[in-house]
Amino acid sequence: MTNVSTSMVSVVTAFYNEEKFLEQTILSVVNQSYSNWEMLLVDDGSPDGSPAIAKRYADQYPGKVRYLHHENRANKGVCKSRNLGIANATGDYIAYLDADDVWLPEKLERQLEIFQKFPDTTVLLEASNYWYSWESPNRRDVVIEVGAAQNKLYFPPQLVLTLYPLGPGAAPCPSGMMVRKPVHDRTLFVEEFIGPTAVYEDQAFLAQLYLKENVFVSSQVNNLYRQRLTSQVYSAHSDGRYQKVRLFYLNWFKEYLQKNNIQNKEINKLLRKNFFPYQYPLLNNGFQLMNKVIQKMKKLKQKVLS
């Protein structure tokens, strides 16, 4: 087993038009308490000033920071860009950091300690600080834990049943993750999630991990997940695309299970439940209306009894 105290960590950051935030993101890696890292900055065809920032840090930290791009500096999407970074990574561990997020200084050190303490772990997830105060100091940040029992190792396929988008528990943020390098011999980011469907690119990647890997869920919070009204998730909800994108994901996941001959009664039952609103919209609307009436009746009863 690799000695964690000397392990190289490859940090993969794909970016597109992030000149406003990229330098802060890079510096949060440069300032890590754990020093044996490399950072792969993957330019997804940015027409703004972010490539110049990436190149400047690659020149300043030769051998530590590398600037990568697609052929002809094409725009290929975040999944292909992350996969390009992974293909060029030399570390024993891979961590992902979105180009507008920030790590706290002990992120790498603290996560490597968990891998050492729980050697069967192949994937590590942690809580995230949903970072609102970066823009408005009056807004409170919110720490959201991964929606499963904390500080525990999970085996396939437990987290498929527990976490969003099939289960009720909150999903992790990519900037809080770390994996052992061999994980990527089995799993990469799904490149068909591009454009409007990129909202679910993290979930397609995570679903594969939940089906294959031993995943440790940590209560630690070592990342600041920047909240922006211009993000893909906010945009998908605001312009009404979200349900269409979610259905695309459900169809992809169903096909993935079939192609890989993964048969699990609990997963199939949960998948059918998630498909139900799309297959029987009128019936589903009726159930939702009935549930609202029942909840109102319960509240009215409580008022009368009190």
Query: Which pLDDT score, from 0 to 100, does residue 232 have?
Result: 59
CB atoms within 10 A of CB 138: 7
Query: Which pLDDT score, from 0 to 100, does residue 295 have?
Result: 59
Query: Which pLDDT score, from 0 to 100, does residue 237 have?
Result: 52
Write the pLDDT tens digit of every residue in 171-223. 999 999 999 999 999 999 999 999 989 999 999 999 999 999 999 999 999 99
Which CATH number covers residue 20? 3.90.550.10
Lowest mean per-residue pLDDT among 53-67, 116-130, 255-269, 291-305 = 291-305
Percent of the chain residues past pLDDT 90, beyond the cut: 82
Write the pLDDT tens digit of every residue in 127-179. 999 999 999 889 999 999 999 999 999 999 999 999 999 999 999 999 999 99
Listed in sequence order, the DSSP H helices in the chain are: 22-30, 50-60, 78-87, 107-117, 158-162, 183-186, 201-212, 232-238, 242-259, 265-279, 281-305
Q: How much is the CA Rg of the chain, to the nearest whole Å? A: 21
Residue 267 within a domain = no
Q: Are residues 282 and 161 in the same domain?
A: no
Residue 268 within a domain = no
Chain length of the chain = 306
pTM here is 0.88
In angstroms, the CA 223 to CA 110 distance is 12
Q: Is the pLDDT of residue 287 over 60?
A: no
Q: Are residues 279 and 164 in the same domain?
A: no
Residue 265 within a domain = no
Query: Which pLDDT score, from 0 to 100, does residue 301 have?
Result: 53
Q: Are residues 70 and 193 in the same domain?
A: yes
Beta-carbon contacts of 123 under 8 Å, excluding residues fewer than 6 positions away, are 177, 178, 179, 180, 183, 209, 213, 214, 215, 216
Residue 26 within a domain = yes
* Mean pLDDT along residues 114-125: 98
Find out whether 197 and 245 touch, Cβ atoms under 8 Å.
Answer: yes
Query: Which pLDDT score, from 0 to 100, does residue 241 have?
Result: 77
Q: Is the pLDDT of residue 126 over 60?
A: yes
Instruction: Quote the mean pLDDT of the chain.
Output: 91
User: Domain span at residue 38?
Assistant: 4-259
Q: Is the pLDDT of residue 290 over 50?
A: no
Residue 245 within a domain = yes
**Secondary structure E strands in 25-177:** 37-43, 65-69, 93-96, 102-103, 123-131, 142-144, 152-154
Q: Are residues 121 and 73 in the same domain?
A: yes
Residue 264 within a domain = no
Query: Which pLDDT score, from 0 to 100, does residue 279 have?
Result: 85
Q: Are residues 188 and 297 in the same domain?
A: no
Write the pLDDT tens digit of every residue in 39-64. 999 999 999 999 999 999 999 999 99
Q: Are residues 218 and 107 in the same domain?
A: yes
Query: Which pLDDT score, from 0 to 100, does residue 188 have?
Result: 98
160: which 2 tokens?
């498929």
Query: Which pLDDT score, from 0 to 100, does residue 43 have?
Result: 98
Q: Are residues 185 and 129 in the same domain?
A: yes
Q: Give phi and psi for 215, each to the nearest 5.
A: -110, 120
Residue 188 within a domain = yes
Q: Are residues 195 and 283 in the same domain?
A: no
Find out whether 49 and 20 touch, Cβ atoms under 8 Å.
Answer: no
Q: Are residues 141 and 218 in the same domain?
A: yes
Q: Are residues 214 and 297 in the same domain?
A: no
Among all chains, which residue has been given the structure tokens 């995943």? 215
> What angle is formed at CA 50 by the lines to CA 91 and CA 137, rounded to 5 degrees?
95
Write the pLDDT tens digit of every residue in 262-276. 999 999 999 999 999
* Number of domains within the chain: 2
Among all chains, which residue has been given the structure tokens 């996560």? 111
Residue 94 within a domain = yes
Query: Which pLDDT score, from 0 to 100, does residue 6 have?
Result: 85
Q: Are residues 152 and 204 in the same domain?
A: yes
Residue 142 forms beta bridges with which residues? Answer: 130
Q: Are residues 231 and 149 in the same domain?
A: yes
Q: Is the pLDDT of residue 298 over 60?
A: no
Write the pLDDT tens digit of every residue in 58-110. 999 999 999 999 999 999 999 999 999 999 999 999 999 999 999 999 999 99
